[in-house]
Structure 1
Amino acid sequence: MGQGSTHLNSQMQQQETSIPLWKYDKERHGWSQKQCNTTDSSNKEWSQFRVVTYNVWFSDKYQPMRVQNLCDILNKSNAQVIALQEMTKNILQSLLAQPFVQEKYYISDGDGRTFNGWYGVVLLIDIHLHISRLNLINFPQSNMGRRLVFAEIKLDNNEILRIGTVHLESLNNAPQRLCQLNICQNAFNRSPAGTCILMGDFNFHAQGQENIDQFKALPGWIDVWTNIMGIDNRGYTFDTETNSMTKLHNGGADQSRYDRIILRSNTLIPTEIEILGNKSIGIEEDLHIFPSDHFGLTAVFEQRK
């Protein structure tokens, strides 16, 4: 959700820019910039491809405990691409210090420079993948500094993947969200046909008229949760009934599936999806603590046979 975001100039113009990858330098013991298409990847062919999306909650409440547990979840996921929303510079620095991140991933931001205001979105991408470009797009007229970060990845000789992460406009801003999703779709459409995956905090309910309207504007895209689990499985990723920490800090009851992984592809099919981080990780001040106020999602894709 992220209602606590810093409001920015509503006239911020749409602007697409190329941004560098960041890779950990073992000799210098630090992160350094790396241009796309100069990869040292192994060109490994993927029979399965796993992704994770997680809104990590910008709050400093219980942050050390939450961030460490979040890092454990991400490490165990063994995902090829991880999309994170509400990343602050403090959380980013904790993530960059993790040995598994240093060993296994490129990252789209090494110091928070792509954040608008005090938080942003980040991609982690397996270092064995060949990344041909990494771009950032400002959403015009966003009051919350919202952006799209997306990469183009050559999975093998026959499969090009375009994959991105977003944190769409919060609150009662359905027209803004529609505009932002259209910008995402147009960005993916500029390249030749291939697989497209968009994931993040979409900030609208999975049931209701806005969900219908948004997907009408996304022809050919599927909601991976619904595709695998069916329309009757609510799959709440924001759930004050389960997450008492969220209930306390949200100020009211809310059960919603705000977080999504959506797919458009003729060659990859989703085979698994599950919720992450929906178990208490400890107790502080008689309150059950969770990794975030949202739950995460992980999905697996396979080549269509």
Structure 2
Amino acid sequence: MRGLKMIRSAQRHNTQCPLPASKPGLLPTVCGYKSSTFIGVFPRNTPTLSTKRRPVLPSHVTMQGLGKLPGIAQLFPQPRVPQPAEQFYYVFQGDHWEPVESGPSEAARMPDAFSVVSWNIDFQRPLENERMKAALDYLGKSSIRGGKTAIIMFNEMIASDLQLIQQEPWVREAYFVADLTGERWISRYGTCMLVPKSLPVKNVFRVPYLKSDMGRDVLFVDIALPGDKTLRVGSTHLESLRADPPRRPAQLQMAADFMKQADAAIVGGDLNAIEDFDKTLHLSNDLKDAYLETGGEEGAEEGATWGQMVTKMERLRYGLGRLDKILYCGELSAEGFRRFGIDAVLEGEAGERLVNDYFGGLEKPWVTDHMGIMADFKLRVTTFSAAGVESR
């Protein structure tokens, strides 16, 4: 695989990212990659990539307990400006996963049409291993992804979910993975992204949100386009519930700032759009909403991604909501949008246990409480065709 710098020998079975110290007089490095490469990529007044890992919360602090704490800032000092931290992504080689050092790769022929998939897999619902395996089996069906080049994002991943992702044959065969471990998450759960091997990955990095009481961040993958251009794809899980002042506006604004540094950019995930202001956050940040741009209507039941696969009590209390979104900007257009997952259920004895044991009772053994979403995109041919973007 040309353009990929494989980290071998002693790191062959080690998925942790070493942070080599910089030599005197040289720029700091992160995972062996010079920070100077990213100067000009990040928003103005943003420091180059952090050479220190974000601390991990103590194992006894869960998300439920975190909500009762005065704030994560009192546990760990938080920076006043975004701190993007570069990291590895991984490829399956032979019989194991290899870390790949982020860095410029030789630009492959990028298809002008591709899809982005996002799915939140509830980390609290019982039978987490069985549910995640069922979700992966569901996504592995070619009918779900339509045989297209599809970037897949997951929200609310826990450590065992990442292990199951690594074991999935269709993932091993066709995808890069970021991440294999949750060591870069601040909370006990986080995001993960699967990127087709056919796409030339340039960089992978996370940016913790400056204002988050739940340890939320955005995971970005930069993909090389011909003509020295960049497609930046981000996966995020914005702050849950209500807050005073609200957290989500500042979080999406930070994500949008990073998006606008690329020629084309997408961010997707559980945006927890539960308040009126959430309906216009994309407009406030000069972003487009793939669902709305393809004919969807705000408030329509057909667009709801949460509420169908929960207990009757939860549905009556909270109703339906379009919590999950895919937003974009730059040199691309949304060509299609759909939901999926209403028929993703556990079969057999496991399904019966889930229905019977879940507090409040489920009507069906759904693998999660969120519907998945998928948006089809097309790069603007007038911008990239002359530079060699592959049309399909």
Residue matched to 1:150: 220
CA distance in 2, matches of 1:12, 1:74: 37
Structure 1 residue 200 and structure 2 residue 297: aligned? no
Residue matched to 1:97: 167
Highest relative contact order (Cα 8 Å, sep 6+), 1 or 2?
A: 1
CA distance in 1, matches of 2:191, 2:374: 17
Q: Is the 8 A contact 2:260 2:329 kept in 1?
A: no
SS of residue paired to 2:246? helix
Please point out which of 290, 297, 321 is paired with 1:231: 297
Alignment of 1:1-305 (within 5 A): 4=64, 6-7=66-67, 9-10=72-73, 11-13=77-79, 14-26=82-94, 29-37=95-103, 39=105, 43-76=108-141, 77=145, 78=147, 79-157=149-227, 160-173=230-243, 175-191=246-262, 194-205=263-274, 208-212=276-280, 214-219=281-286, 221-231=287-297, 233-234=300-301, 235-239=303-307, 242-243=308-309, 245-247=310-312, 252-266=317-331, 268-279=332-343, 281-282=345-346, 283-284=351-352, 285=355, 287=362, 288-304=364-380
CA distance in 1, matches of 2:290, 2:104: 32
Q: Is the 8 A contact 1:246 1:293 kept in 2?
A: no
- Deviation at residue 61 of structure 1 after TM alignment: 0.9
Deviations 1:79-101 (A, max 9, x none): 53111110100111111110111
Query: Which structure would you say has the larger Rg?
Result: 2
Deviations 1:106-138 (A, max 9, x none): 111112112212101111111111111111111
Q: Is the 8 A contact 2:110 2:199 kept in 1?
A: no
- Deviation at residue 301 of structure 1 after TM alignment: 1.0
Q: Is the 8 A contact 2:135 2:344 kept in 1?
A: no
Q: Is the 8 A contact 1:5 1:144 kept in 2?
A: no
Deviations 1:55-103 (A, max 9, x none): 1111251323321221023223255311111010011111111011111
TM-score (norm 2): 0.68
Note the aligned Cα RMSD (angstroms).
2.6
Q: Is the 8 A contact 2:217 2:236 kept in 1?
A: yes
CA distance in 2, matches of 1:280, 1:94: 17
Identity within the alignment, %: 23
Query: For the structure 1 residues 154 and 247, does the alpha-carbon distance in structure 2 shift closer, same or farther, using more than 3 Å as the test?
Result: farther
TM-score (norm 1): 0.86
Q: Is the 8 A contact 1:46 1:156 kept in 2?
A: no
The runs of 5 or more residues in structure 1 that have no matched partner are: none
Aligned AA for 1:275?
A: R
SS of residue paired to 1:175? coil
Deviations 1:121-179 (A, max 9, x none): 11111111111111111112311110111011014447521110110011113631111
CA distance in 1, matches of 2:328, 2:239: 20
SS of residue paired to 2:292? helix
SS of residue paired to 2:138? helix
Query: For the structure 1 residues 129 and 5, does the alpha-carbon distance in structure 2 shift closer, same or farther, using more than 3 Å as the test?
Result: farther
Deviations 1:250-289 (A, max 9, x none): 89443100100011123x2111111111125244245411
Query: For the structure 1 residues 167 and 230, does the alpha-carbon distance in structure 2 shift closer, same or farther, using more than 3 Å as the test?
Result: same
Task: Please identify which structure carries the higher strand content.
Answer: 1
Q: Is the 8 A contact 1:237 1:275 kept in 2?
A: yes
CA distance in 1, matches of 2:343, 2:161: 21
